[in-house]
A = this chain, B = another copy of it.
Amino acid sequence: MLVDAAPLDSIRHLIGQMPAASDEAAAAARARQAELTKPQGSLGRLEEIAAFLASWQGKLAPTLDRPLVAVFAANHGVVAKGVSAYPPSVTRAMMQNFSAGGAAINQICGAFGVGLKVFELALDIPTKDITEEPAMEAAETAATFAFGMEAIDGGVDLLCVGEMGIGNTTIAAAIFYALYGGSAADWVGRGTGVEDEALARKIAAVETAVALHRPFLSDPLEVMRRLGGREIAAMAGAIVAARMQNIPVVLDGYVVCAAAAILHALDKNALDHCLAGHLSAEGAHGEVLRRLGKVPLLDLGMRLGEGSGAALAVGLIKAAVACHTGMATFAEAQVAGKVADGAKI
């Protein structure tokens, strides 16, 4: 079971070098918010979002000129264990649906003017069945992480991370079980809609996989290599690349958070540049977000993946940026400010 750890150490090294936010830009954004024609704090999380974007973009006025949804797609050997309600051919079929503009994520991106890029990760060669052996070799894991990093170019000013892959809620559940403990059933949801026997098989697969790899799972990068699919590694790379390029990130649901959780386990500040787009109806997503320290922007009972919850949250972010940059100040609009507390008028 010995592997060459060097490729994974390059990831560890990178995570140690992640830049921090600009406190100056955040303070300037908050100061501007206090001047805008509204009672202070009355835009709630829209005000926080504006300051968050400013701090990570390092700009006094955050922009949302080129938001991007990056969807990473992969197939999984564990599907052979009967853990999904859909056949693995659906992963590739959905690639064509994305290309033709027929998927949910196409419509949501269209509604908010968000770019969409889909990255296929060797769909015809599923990762190994995690109930029997590690999903990936170390070099393959590192290369996939690097591929995810390269997918993000500097023109993007907001990155939404999404995924597609029949079987990947099983993968995500295994990762959470490995990282957070409890029982396998705590982390297994219905995915695309498994019930009864298929759900039991899914729980059993997660249990078997984590038991098999247990001796190596104290290292989050081994969790990623042994249990993770290629989309998990690529999404982790994309999240890190965004950080390196001052691009704030919106996380999607359960599977995306498995990639995020790997990074968080390596460094608890690794996700500081990330917003949780929504609370997914899948499995224990709320529990995952609690552990990641994220309060989701939306809670609409969605559980589709594709980056759909993150893309939907871009609507809110768009409004937050528009308010921050477009509103008049009290002085500009010649609106009277608050009267002294306690004064009758």
Binding site for B on A (CB under 8 A): 36-46, 79, 81-82, 84-90, 93-94, 96-97, 100-104, 106-108, 110-112, 191-198, 201, 281, 297-304, 308, 312, 315-316, 318-319, 322-323, 326-328, 332-339, 341-345
B318 near A111: Cβ-Cβ < 8 Å? yes
Tell me, rounded to whole Å, the shortest Cβ–Cβ distance linking A58 to chain B.
Answer: 23
Choice from B94, B104, B326 contacting A107 with Cβ under 8 Å: B326
With CB as the reference atom, state the residue of chain B lying closest to A311: B319
Give CA–CA (A106, B79) in the complex, Å.
Answer: 50
A302 near B110: Cβ-Cβ < 8 Å? no
Cβ contacts A to B, 18 pairs, < 8 Å: A43-B104, A43-B302, A45-B301, A82-B345, A86-B336, A86-B338, A87-B336, A90-B335, A97-B328, A101-B326, A103-B327, A108-B322, A194-B341, A198-B343, A298-B298, A299-B299, A312-B315, A312-B316
Q: What chain B residues lie within 8 Å of A327 (beta carbons)? A: 102-104, 106-107
Whether A318 touches B315, Cβ cut-off 8 Å, given contacts A45-B300, A102-B332, is yes
Give CA–CA (A297, B181) in the complex, Å.
Answer: 33
Q: What chain B residues lie within 8 Å of A312 (beta carbons)? A: 46, 315-316, 319
Choice from B40, B97, B318 contacting A37 with Cβ under 8 Å: B97
Q: What chain B residues lie within 8 Å of A328 (beta carbons)? A: 97, 100, 102-103
Q: What chain B residues lie within 8 Å of A94 (beta carbons)? A: 37, 335
Tell me, rounded to whole Å, the shortest Cβ–Cβ distance linking A331 to chain B.
Answer: 11
Tell me, rounded to whole Å, the shortest Cβ–Cβ distance linking A102 to chain B.
Answer: 3
B82 near A300: Cβ-Cβ < 8 Å? no
Give CA–CA (A102, B300) in the complex, Å.
Answer: 31
Whether A103 touches B37, Cβ cut-off 8 Å, given contacts A312-B316, A316-B312, is yes
A192 near B45: Cβ-Cβ < 8 Å? no
Q: What chain B residues lie within 8 Å of A45 (beta carbons)? A: 300-302
A43 near B304: Cβ-Cβ < 8 Å? yes
Give CA–CA (A283, B139) in the complex, Å.
Answer: 56
With CB as the reference atom, state the residue of chain B lying closest to A44: B301
With CB as the reference atom, state the residue of chain B lying closest to A39: B192
Give CA–CA (A88, B335) in the complex, Å.
Answer: 11
Q: What chain B residues lie within 8 Å of A336 (beta carbons)? A: 86-87, 89-90, 93
With CB as the reference atom, state the residue of chain B lying closest to A45: B300
